[in-house]
Amino acid sequence: MASNQGHMNINSHQFNGYMENQQHDDKSKVNMSHTVGLDISKFGQGSSSDINCNTGMNMSALGAVGGNMNRNYGGGMAVTPTMGFTNGYNKWTTNSDEAESMEVTEIDGGIMEGGGQILRIAIALCSIQHKPISISRIRANRTNPGLRPQHMTGMQLVRDLCSGQLTGDQVGAQHVTFIPGMLQSGTFLADTGTAGAVSLLLQVALPCLMFTPGTSHLTLRGGTNAEMAPQIDYTTCVLKPMLELFGVRMDCRIVTRGYFPRGGGEVTVQSSPVRQLRAVDLTNFGTIKRITGRAFVAGVIPFKIAQQMAKSATSVLWRTYREVPINIQAVQEPKNAVVGNGTGIIVVAETTTGCRLSGSSLGRKGIQAEQVGADAAEMLLRNLSYGCCVDEYLQDQLIIYMALAAGRSRLKTGPITLHTQTAMHIAQMMTQAQFSLVQAAPPSTESYIIECEGIGHRNPHF
């Protein structure tokens, strides 16, 4: 992502390529902003790179919507806000009856990672900052493009949180528009009707809940332990304690576990708002204090499968960390608290500085239980090998909180994933927070420090 001695400032409007095959050293730094059709995958080899593509995009904060808005928006491909609205509505701050003009930020949902993460970050930031958006080419990089039930449900949940106006929210749709209203606290229900991950419903809603007037209660239904998404155990054991460092206050209770293909799981969440998120510094790994884990079976799957996963994971981890306490429990889920059959494992390392890193795996047809356990352990070992504070699945989930927090946040992590690059791009585009990426020393570790100068967004209700 950087030249050998270089420092890149990229200030334009749309990343158009996967940042890879980069050369890094401890002096390399990338300052990422919005880029227009810019393929930075070939940067490197130079001594210095300064790229400025200022397009005069107006990203000023937009007013709130309190009345009926015209839903006839045209489509678009750029990520610059190019369409204007004029309609009557009451400004939240002044209760004025004056007509106001609003611009809609258009986002290409097929750039970079090109999946559901673009939707989740964009919709959340849209509602928090009261910026209408239009998203086209939704999930264009997937084999089944367009909205799936979990994406649609997540967007509808945020719509309900702010009494906004959402159009195009149908399964398979590749274009949606959203005009947010005022974020409110209350009791909300979101049900994917499938095995779509409840953790991803929480991922889109939780940042919004930080800026409501009071305590909120969510009931989220779908899959609790699903492929291609964080297991709910990751949310409770890793994400939650790390978000608490930003000031996030959230309790999550697993009522029923649901597995593919039926779903049917249920999670309840209680959250309290904050005046402002605080910046974090997660660059000191410390030493490993303990490794814990949970190997589970549910439904008709015999308990011995959980025992085999736990034993295998323990054996793999013990070879590297013989002096560290390792406690991986084998669990048979209560029959009255599950829907369907499932099996899997999560292992979590906790450090003396409070960092949490994880490895996980789900059972699959034709895969031996011992291999499932070993896969989870090896994933954890890989994350620990970088000497970092944030694992590969947490780095992208923290980006939105870094952007909204007050002050400079720093995260030390391993190789930067495409999900994280995409999250930084969308967050910076919509908030004007400034992200940079620096290779940590020594360069052979493939570890990096993500820095962000957050915007210090304030809760308007406090």
Supply the residues annotated as catalytic. 419
Residue 68 neighbours by CB under 8 Å, 6+ apart: 87
Let me know if 331 is exposed, middle or buried by CB neighbors in 10 A (0-12, 13-18, 19+).
middle
The pair of structure tokens assigned to 191 is 């049900």
What's the rounded Cα separation, in Å, for the pair 322 and 108?
Answer: 49
What's the rounded Cα separation, in Å, for the pair 414 and 384?
Answer: 9
H or E element at residue 11: strand 7-11
Q: SS3 for 346?
A: strand
What's the rounded Cα separation, in Å, for the pair 281 and 113?
Answer: 26
Query: Is the sign of the CA dihedral 439, 441, 446, 447 positive or negative?
Result: negative
- Closest to 379 (Cα-Cα) out of 352, 347, 415: 347
Q: Are 346 and 292 in contact (CB under 8 A)?
A: no
What's the rounded Cα separation, in Å, for the pair 16 and 35?
Answer: 8
What's the rounded Cα separation, in Å, for the pair 220 and 190?
Answer: 5
Distances (CA, A) of 105 to 16, 124, 401, 424, 427: 18, 14, 21, 17, 13
The pair of structure tokens assigned to 159 is 């719509």
Let me know if 269 is exposed, middle or buried by CB neighbors in 10 A (0-12, 13-18, 19+).
buried
Q: Are 462 and 275 in contact (CB under 8 A)?
A: yes
Q: Are 326 and 311 in contact (CB under 8 A)?
A: no
Q: Are strands 81-88 and 133-136 parallel, antiparallel or unpaired?
A: unpaired
The pair of structure tokens assigned to 4 is 């050998």
Strand intervals (E) in 414-457: 434-439, 448-455
